[in-house]
Structure 1
Amino acid sequence: MSTFVLIHGANSSSWDWHLVAPELRALGHEVIAPDLPTGSPTATLTDYTDAVVKGIEDHDPKVPDDLVVVAHSLGGFTAPLVCHRVPARLLVLVNGMIPRPGETVADWWSNTGQSEATAGTDYDEHETFFHDVTPELEAKALAQVTGQGEAAMLQPWPAESWPEVPTKHLVGRDDRLFPAVWARGLARQRLGITTDEMDGGHYLALSRPAELALRLDAYTH
């Protein structure tokens, strides 16, 4: 059994994980899914990290030694900071961003080549994020939107290095925000790791929660 810490992405909340959490619990794991202060214009990545660490400590003041920290999308900027502060056994990025020391979220898009990887593609909220999510879930997801504060986008990533924690990189083959071919190259370049893939787009936690939970569970064995 592991304790999964599920970190959501930008402009959102822990609701994003509401279908994955019960699947993980059914597999025998504990789940912590904190809300980050993404809607606050002044909240920084440090504040996001504090919110996750507080969620872990509120769950168990002793801090479990079986933590698996999972991050979706922008959560990739927060998760490694959490792993610098708590004894995680594993870090998993699910369509997650991979920062470098001193890099801001605002600069990450051009620094990584994401802008070029999606050049020529017209941005459309449905097609980019929810093309494989049911209309009912898409409507509920849009109702959870918190807004995305600017301070976190402009704070240089404060860690001096990636944490010394085994890291997995899982992507959806049909992610239209972070195309799989580009994402594989980024993981090799920045972390020196091989990417795992599964069917689905950017919101795997909404489109394929049961399969995602099984993938996460498999990483613990």
Structure 2
Amino acid sequence: MDGITLTAWILFIGMIIGLILGFLKIFENSKPNVEYLVLVALLVAVCVMGMLPTAAVPGVQAASFVIIMAGIIFGRETGFITGVLTVFVMSLFLGFGFWSVFQMIGWGLMGFTAGLFSSKLENVYLRASFGFIWGFAYGWITDISMLPFLSTVNLNSIIGVFIASAPFDLLHGTINAILLVLLYGLFKKIFSRVKNKFIFSMNVEKNITANHGDKQL
């Protein structure tokens, strides 16, 4: 790889990191309360626990199901944050690399789009299709991290990388679709209860803060 190509890759990865950090900064500036931070931590913990036992099996990405469910039930921002932080925590166990950036983008966008189309995903066929498509989309995004290792980057080599990962992407998409069909009702019930409790806690905190302010006045 020549110097110009290497510089382009560094700039490209730097731009992606900047976008992720920018989103996290916006999230930080929104001043989330303790309950919300605990919620996100629990979602990330579930993703990591589901991912680590199968980390050595290519294409088996159990965390994708939880990230999609997080986006559907808790919204696109929570889905994105869950996806990004899942990679960060998982990398503490499996190791960091520049490929981690593309994993963050892949899972972050997966959770974000799940929240964006949450109303459509009540339909079982659309939900299964969504999970299946994201099996390939996630693979294509993370495949980009392999391109710097190629001696020559052109259309044929890029297509070759995508074709090589196709069986694993197919497995990933199939598992997503199956889980979103079989376990959607159970996880929706569990996550909805957590969401309702979270909203109740937020309302109680707001009322306490408001009453405290009224007493000061």
Scaled by the length of structure 1, the TM-score of the pair is 0.29
The one of the two structures with greater contact order (alpha-carbon pairs below 8 A, sep at least 6) is: 1
Higher-Rg structure is 2
Superposition TM-score, scaled by structure 2 size: 0.29
Structure ranking higher in helix proportion = 2
Counting strand residues as a fraction of each chain, which structure ranks higher? Answer: 1
